[in-house]
Amino acid sequence: MDYKNILFECKNAIAYITINRSKQLNALNAETIAELSSAITLAENDKSIKCMIITGAEDKAFVAGADIKEFANYSKKEGENLARKGQESLFDLLENCGTPSIAAINGFALGGGLELAMACHIRIASENAKMGLPEVSLGVIPGYGGTQRLANLVGKGKAMEMITTAGMILAADAKSWGLVNYFCTQEKLIPLAEKIASKIIRNSPSAIAKAIKAVNAGFEEGINGFEVEKKEFGNCFESEEFKEGTNAFLEKRKANF
Ligand code: CAA
């Protein structure tokens, strides 16, 4: 597949998705959102891909937000559509994707950029990363799920502070607040993402997809996560991967998923 705004490469069961608009600090315009959505769908449907690493091109930005130039003259209806279409086509898709994703935050992750990282299943950051939701400084609010996902990750109080001050936090604070799992030097960022991915890809992809579904269910209004867990636990028992995983354990060998 040919993309204009992203790079898509697969190696050793990992899809590397790089947002590649470095002149605009990898800002998300509509075309980039559509390409990301297509790449994620492709990765989810390709059984040879077991994990995704999402990062930004060059060393300054992961993603500096939604493309401000694109929505500067939008009406109320167009604004709501931008948020709705973006959330449904990309951010919700990514969060609910059965193939796990790791955001490798290599620089500024602001607004839609931090929202993209927060829709990934795991986040790691380089020491130069700066993270924030500065939308209120532009007279808008986070529109790609930031008001909800940030509060889920760091708690309501810290989310309120980050959103109302429009400030940026550094990697060490992001780690202590639970926004990222690890931070490291920029050179070690992709190797660290690969190390985490290498642990993921040994495991049963179908069990991982079900586990993601069950964890996410607990954050959905009106859905009982425990019930989803029970159902998905049961569903595992009719998968070939369950047979392989348990047989491998009993035969004292490594499972081959
Ligand atoms: N949209 C469009 N273009 C952007 C952009 C964005 N979000 N962020 C940076 N750029 C562009 C700049 O306009 C500039 O382009 P030109 O050279 O053509 O002028 C280029 O990228 C380089 O940026 P700067 O010159 O500003 O670089 P800097 O080092 O001085 O500052 C920065 C870096 C602090 C990240 C600054 O670029 C910045 O504040 N960017 C905007 C961050 C922001 O407000 N993000 C939230 C967007 S709104 C949103 O995301 C809504 C939503 O939730 C749906």
Q: Number of folded domains in the chain?
A: 2
Is residue 31 domain-resident? yes
Q: Does 41 reside within a domain?
A: yes
Q: What average pLDDT does this structure show over 73-77? A: 97
Q: How far is the CA of 68 from the centre of ligand 1 (A)?
A: 7
Active site residue 241: no
Distance from the CA of 173 to the center of ligand 1, in angstroms?
Answer: 22
Measured from CB, residues less than 6 Å from any atom of ligand 1 are 24-25, 27, 64-69, 108, 110-112, 115, 134-135, 138, 140, 142-144, 146
Q: What is the DSSP letter of 135?
A: G
Q: Which domain holds residue 218?
A: 205-250
Q: Kindly report the pTM of this predicted structure.
A: 0.98
For residues 194 and 157, state if they share a domain: yes
Query: pLDDT band for position 2 (50/70/90)?
Result: confident
In this model, does residue 231 exceed pLDDT 90? yes
Integer Cα distance of 87 and 79 in angstroms: 12
Mutate to test the pocket of ligand 1, among 5, 20, 24 (most ligand atoms within 8 A of CB): 24
Distance 61 CA to ligand 1 centre (A): 10
CATH number at residue 155: 3.90.226.10
Task: Calculate how far, in angstroms, residue 37's C-alpha sits from the geometric centre of ligand 1.
Answer: 22
Angle at 195 between CA 193 and CA 201, to 5 degrees: 95
Round to whole Å and give the CA distance between 159 and 153: 9
Query: What pLDDT does residue 144 have?
Result: 98
The whole-chain average pLDDT of the chain stands at 98
CB atoms within 10 A of CB 18: 21
Output the pLDDT for position 244: 97
Could you tell me if residue 257 is inside a domain? no
Whether 119 shows a pLDDT value over 80: the answer reads yes
Alpha-helical regions (H) of 87-179? 92-96, 112-119, 146-154, 156-165, 171-176
| Same domain flag for 76 and 127 | yes
Tell me, yes or no, whether 35 lies in a domain.
yes
Report the percentage of the chain scoring pLDDT > 70: 100
Same domain, 140 and 21: yes
pLDDT in tens, 3-34: 999 999 999 999 999 999 999 999 999 999 99
Region 150-174: mean pLDDT is: 98
Mutation test residue for ligand 1: of 68, 128, 148, the one with most atoms within 8 Å of CB: 68
User: Do the domain assignments include residue 1?
Assistant: no
User: Residue 99 burial (CB < 10 Å; 0-12/13-18/19+)?
Assistant: buried
Instruction: Please say if the pLDDT value at position 1 is more than 90.
Output: no
Residue 165 within a domain: yes
pLDDT band at 203, cuts 50/70/90? very high
